[in-house]
Amino acid sequence: MKSITLFTTISVMSLAFLQALFPLESSELSESGQKNVKTGSIERTKEEWRKILSPEQYRILREAGTERPNGKVYLEFKKQGAGTYYCAGCNAELFSSREKFDSRCGWPSFYDPSNAKNVKTSVDYHLGYARTEVLCSVCNGHLGHVFTGEGFNTPTDKRYCINGTVLKFVPLSKVVSKKEKNQEGEK
């Protein structure tokens, strides 16, 4: 009888020890999606994407949809000052206010990504002719299209025509004030 109690105690103790070694690892994985070890990209099922994205974000990111031009999101975008734009699907840094320009096309326009390794392109024929699709290289989400040689007076003469619905804007002032707060906390 005594040995059974001892055995149970040891089992409970080793379980607690294991949990301390690997805290909540499995739930962390489901929160951020499965990372493909080979490609480094984040993979989720359709159901998982639907849980974390709004229906409009899902339609654009996962089904290569396009938001209405000159909509509410675009008007907000025009008002935004200095800051960084992150992917709504995976939080990867994609664009920044430094490369933002007014192309008057009704969608957020950038002449270059701010973090090139997070942005990739592929050719699509959805409209019957070749267009260069822009995707987030971390979660493979559709962001928009890129057009070249349109004569814009920018360093690249490229127009990354991006759906604002799938961008998360973080203003520079917020990042700076957060840093200041952290420094105050350290004092």
Query: Taking CB under 5 A as the rule, which mask of x and - marks residues 83-122 in contact with Zn ion?
Result: ----x-xx-x------------------------------
Contact in structure between 168 and 88 (CB atoms under 8 Å): yes
Sequence-distant contacts of 129-133: CB under 8 A, at least 24 apart: 133/64
Q: Does residue 167 bind Zn ion (CB under 5 A)? A: no
Query: Dihedral (C-alpha) 37, 170, 97, 56: value to the nearest 10 degrees?
Result: 70
CB-nearer residue toward Zn ion: 52 or 127: 52
109 or 118: whose CB is closer to Zn ion?
118
- 122-141: which residues touch Zn ion (CB under 5 A)? 136, 138-139, 141
- Residue 36 C-beta: closest distance to Zn ion, Å: 13
User: Does 60 help bind Zn ion (rule: CB under 5 A)?
Assistant: no
| Closest alpha carbon to 30 in 42, 17, 13 | 42
CA–CA separation, 128 vs 114, rounded Å?
Answer: 30
Which residue numbers are catalytic?
161
